[in-house]
Amino acid sequence: MAATRGAIAAVGTAVPPCCVTQQTLFPLLRMHFREKLQERSLAVLEQVLAHPSIRSRYFSVDSVSHLAEIKTETADERIDRFTRWAVLLSEQSARQALARAGFEPRDVGAVVVNTCTGYLCPGISTYLIERLGLPQDVRAYDLVGAGCGGALPGLQVGHAALAEGQGAVLCVAVEVCSATFQMADDMSLLISNAIFGDGAAAAVLTPGATRGLGLGATASRFLPALRDEVRFVYKGGALHNRISQRLPEIAGLEVSTFVRGFLAQHGLDVGDIAHWAIHPGGDKILNTLQQRLGLSDEAMAVSRGVLLNYGNMSSPTVLFELEQIIRDGVRADERCLLVAFGAGMSMYAALLEPGASA
């Protein structure tokens, strides 16, 4: 296995203040969209929202009473809302991660920010430089278009930035999925509106750390032929989520094959991984991956727990899982595997080991 050049010293997370249970959400959606949706679509929404795999989600508005504003906001109001909350949640998760790692903003030599639910120029990284008081000569990287898997290419870029020797690297994944909210008699949109939520997560990477989780081998795989199975498309100048009904089957086959191949390259098997953080794209996807990888319910508990309490937040979700794994504790002889996948179709994996040093 390649030598570890750094480690994840800490992870921080943040969600907006508006928490809505699935049970509460359906009456609101029915009230606001009963004239726009067919009865069949309303029945699908009700069925998905009633599924026990997700209990609650968070939305980037100030309170439940403001949820209706999402329906009527203009394109300008939508990007304003994305900007406000993406910057705020990024800042909150970053501050938490830095505090947990015992670092000050002046210790950060590079910042990497990933998102796919909105576009800003200059990027979110510049807002963090301002809000956190990062050094003005900090190296800044803004990544877009990686979809739900985006936190892991963020870690890959952050890992590479450690080689510059400028200090710690701050990696942030933030998504305001509600800024892509669209409603129509379209299965992709109905499912998206029933499972996606908003949130941000940040990881602090340190060079040659002897504490935290050593960031070792990483891998990526892209299948452009499957691009239209999971992606955003623009319609009328607005993002619309497209999710194939075959996605659980596709992800189950392709991601499991990718994971087994990645582990084999490093002399490992599924049984050598003690802690799993698998992006919870949805209950069916987790079920299929659990079956194909032969994982126990215990191995899937963190992924299912995050899905239950937050829904699918796109790219930050796998770092929410890592935060829980760190909180629960990782022994010195245990390995952790991060697995994320999404638009493209793209797949990513990162192997973590505690107490590793350069």
Whether 42 and 194 have beta carbons less than 8 Å apart is answered as no
Residue that is written with structure tokens 């899937």 in the block: 300
Q: Residue 20 is inside which H or E element, if any? A: strand 18-21
Are the C-beta atoms of residues 145 and 346 closer than 8 Å to each other?
no
Q: From first to last of its 358 residues, what are the pLDDT tens digits of the chain?
A: 344 468 999 999 999 999 999 999 999 999 989 889 999 999 999 999 999 999 999 999 998 888 888 988 999 999 999 999 999 999 999 999 999 999 999 999 999 999 999 999 999 999 999 999 999 999 999 999 999 999 999 999 999 999 887 889 999 999 999 999 999 999 999 999 999 999 999 999 998 755 689 998 999 999 999 988 888 888 887 888 888 888 999 999 999 999 999 999 999 999 999 999 999 999 999 999 999 999 999 999 999 999 999 999 999 999 999 999 999 999 989 999 999 999 989 999 999 987 643 3
As a CATH number, domain 213-354 is 3.40.47.10
User: What predicted TM-score, i.e. pTM, was given to this entire model?
Assistant: 0.95
pLDDT number for residue 212: 81
Domain with CATH 3.40.47.10 in the chain: 6-207, 213-354
Return the pLDDT at 244.
84
What is the pLDDT, as a whole number, of residue 3? Answer: 44
| pLDDT on residue 316 | 98
Tell me, what amino acid is at 54? I
Please state, in angstroms and as integers, the Cα–Cα distance from residue 278 to each residue in 19, 120, 250, following that order.
Answer: 23, 29, 15
Beta bridge partners of 242: 231
pLDDT of residue 210: 56
> Residue 201 has what pLDDT?
98
pLDDT of residue 211: 67
Which run of H or E residues covers position 337?
Answer: strand 336-342
- For domain 6-207, the CATH class is alpha beta
Do the bridges between strand 275-278 and strand 168-175 make them parallel or antiparallel, or are there none, so unpaired? unpaired
